[in-house]
Amino acid sequence: MLIKCIIRPNEYHDSVFLMGVARHAGQLPGVQRAALAMGTAMNKGLLKDMELFSDAAGDAGPNDLVIAVRVADEEAFAIAKAEIERRLKEKAAVRSSDGGLGGGARTLHTIGAACAAAPGLNLALISLPGEYAAAEAAKALSQGLNVYMFSDDISYADEVMLKKLAREKNLMMMGPGCGLAFLQQTAIGLCSKTHSGPVGLVAASGSGLQETMVQIDRLGLGVSQAIGTGGRDLRDEVGGLATLQALDLLEADPATTVIVLISKPPGAKTAAAVLERVRACKKPVVVDFIGGSPAAVTAAGAHFAATFEEAAKLAARLARGGDVAPLSDDADARALAAREAAGLAPGQRYLRGIFCGGTLAEEAMMVMRPPLPEIHSNTAVMPEFNLKDALVSEKHTVIDIGTEDFTRGRPHAAIDPAPRVERFAAEAADPSVAVILLDFLLGYGCHVDPCGIMAGPIRDAIAAAKKAGRRLAVVASICGTELDPQRASAQREKLVAAGVIVMPGNAQAARFAGMIAASASSK
């Protein structure tokens, strides 16, 4: 194998586009691996991890485009080089004709130029390498723009500075590491679209926020605003600056009658400050501190929810002033789980979860912990259950496929399902596996057909297990609505046709899959 590297000086492309070109090039004959990235220090580290680094790549600057491929021979390199250059040329042609945005739009190279060209702008979306993101966010705030920052490689000091600056200017700083938001009925980031309604949400969790929104929508209610704060906002280093500000905004919002607050358990000092603000709120507040204790929440006069589904149910009850349907019928679920487990072969004992949503994976592990006390993970809360290698499962395992172990040099699995397809095939072929648990994220920023992509491999795996004298159970939930471009019902049909048991929500899916695994282990 040969490693070849091309440097194109002073040529910038966004990372999602470059990853798409690299993925296409990696599928060409004779190409083992390909990467396209700007020559930043972080990207050079990624090239080393991918075993694509060379002296030429080391000489590249942060404004230079690095093209690196591992190929069988010179002929394969020539084909890959020509195809990559063709795609780059096509993009350049689009840029020159319409600014790369369609409809005659222009590419503007600074935030100041954009504000001058369109004085009515009020929101900047920032997705840049961390070393540039904080400076651009500060510029946006100084121009009077609210900021949504997808970038996450930002120091605590910069995060605190930006959030304090935003508050001083009566603006909102969402992020760093903000996965999604839903503002004025506009889905931002990897977000589903819901109906308009009286429930306002604030969350330091992307997939947890989306799951709660989806469950609210399925209850026939709707969302006024959903404000993402970034995953670190409720750590004591940041102090909940954006969360406190979002609570103020939602309390003042006339369209919001009930507030839902979602986060992993906050730092101790931050929890006290946030719950004191909740206590003073004149609107009812539902709190889901994932895996946290209800005592402090109820002491603050709020309503504690143990799952995202429960948070949605409580919000609906408070908004309507009446009760809602029971959360689920465990008796029916246990009977169905027992029937599934009865068909398993001797030796089939373990559960494997493969999740796109990191917080959904955490909720799943929390829900399954009573029947399955030992669940290994690449994001385990308890160190003794951390996987030695994220690529190798141990007994009961739940994987967050959206971590850097799987996204290094490629888009998130919600955008590019390839890493999960590969992991699913490996888990399904393991004769000790009884049940596989999956989540599917829908929305404007997600893959156009996530369930369709997985349906074929699932169908094949179930058939292969049957041929080998085994029964493979596949359980899933779909985090999306009928308003999403993928349409939740259409996605569900594809999974059901492939033999998947589709549950109404993440917690129910996890609970059901855990029942199957517990029954299998006790046989």
pLDDT tens, residue by residue, 138-172: 999 999 999 999 888 899 999 999 999 999 999 99
Instruction: Look at 70-74, 329-333, 334-338 and tell me which has the smallest mean pLDDT.
Output: 329-333
Show the tokens assigned to 493: 């049909």
Q: Report yes or no: 243 and 278 within 8 Å, Cβ to Cβ.
A: no
Nearest CA-CA partner of 158 in 236, 229, 238, 230: 238
Question: Is 293 a residue whose pLDDT tops 80?
Answer: yes
pLDDT for res 96: 55
Show the tokens assigned to 49: 């991890």
Torsion sign over Cα 9, 13, 15, 16: negative
User: Amino acid letter at 413?
Assistant: A
Beta bridge partners of 67: 6, 36
CA distance 304 to 289: 8
Instruction: State how beta strands 501-503 and 123-126 pair.
Output: unpaired
Output 99 or 446, whichever has higher pLDDT. Answer: 446
Chain CA centroid to CA 447, Å: 12
CA distance 377 to 390: 8
- Angle made by CA atoms 249, 361, 386, in degrees to the nearest 5: 120
pLDDT tens, residue by residue, 166-208: 999 999 999 999 989 999 999 999 899 999 999 999 998 799 9
Question: Is 100 a residue whose pLDDT tops 50?
Answer: no
pLDDT tens, residue by residue, 389-446: 998 999 999 999 988 778 766 678 888 888 899 899 999 999 999 999 999 999 988 9
Which contacts of 264-269 are long-range, i.e. CB under 8 A and separated by 24 or more positions? Answer: 264/204, 264/205, 264/231, 264/234, 264/289, 264/290, 264/291, 264/359, 264/362, 265/289, 265/290, 265/291, 265/292, 266/234, 266/235, 266/236, 266/240, 267/234, 267/235, 267/236, 267/237, 268/236, 269/236, 269/239
CA distance 261 to 263: 7
Give, in words, the CATH class of 330-522.
Answer: alpha beta
Give, in words, the CATH class of 181-327.
Answer: alpha beta
Q: Report yes or no: 399 and 378 within 8 Å, Cβ to Cβ.
A: yes
Given its phi and psi angles, is residue 380 left (phi above 0), alpha (psi -120 to 50 degrees) or beta?
A: beta
Question: Is 326 a residue whose pLDDT tops 60?
Answer: no
pLDDT for res 339: 84
User: Boundaries of CATH 3.40.50.720 in the chain?
Assistant: 119-177
Cα dist from 419 to 83, 415, 431, 512, whole Å = 23, 11, 21, 25
Give, in words, the CATH class of 119-177.
Answer: alpha beta
CATH 3.30.70 fits 2-98, yes or no: yes
Q: Report yes or no: 181 and 191 within 8 Å, Cβ to Cβ.
A: yes
For residue 346, say if its preceding peptide bond is cis, omega within 30 degrees of 0: no
pLDDT for res 497: 98
Cα Dmax for the chain: 71
Q: How many residues does the chain have?
A: 523
Burial letters for 306-325: b for 16+ Cβ neighbours within 10 Å, e otherwise? Answer: bbbbbbbbbbbbbbeeeebe
CA distance 138 to 134: 6
User: Boundaries of CATH 3.40.50.261 in the chain?
Assistant: 181-327, 330-522
Query: Once rounded to an integer, what is the mean pLDDT over residues 66-86?
Result: 96
pLDDT tens, residue by residue, 499-516: 999 999 999 999 999 999
Q: Report yes or no: 445 and 360 within 8 Å, Cβ to Cβ.
A: no
pLDDT for res 328: 54
**Strands lying side by side in the sheet with 303-304:** 186-189, 180-183, 223-228, 196-203, 258-263, 285-289, 303-304
Query: From start to end of 167-209, where are the E strands?
Result: 173-174, 180-183, 186-189, 196-203
Question: Is 15 a residue whose pLDDT tops 90?
Answer: no
Nearest CA-CA partner of 365 in 375, 356, 355: 375
CA distance 206 to 347: 37
Residue 97 pLDDT grade (very low, low, confident, very high; cuts 50, 70, 90):
low
User: Boundaries of CATH 3.30.70 in the chain?
Assistant: 2-98
CA distance 310 to 313: 5
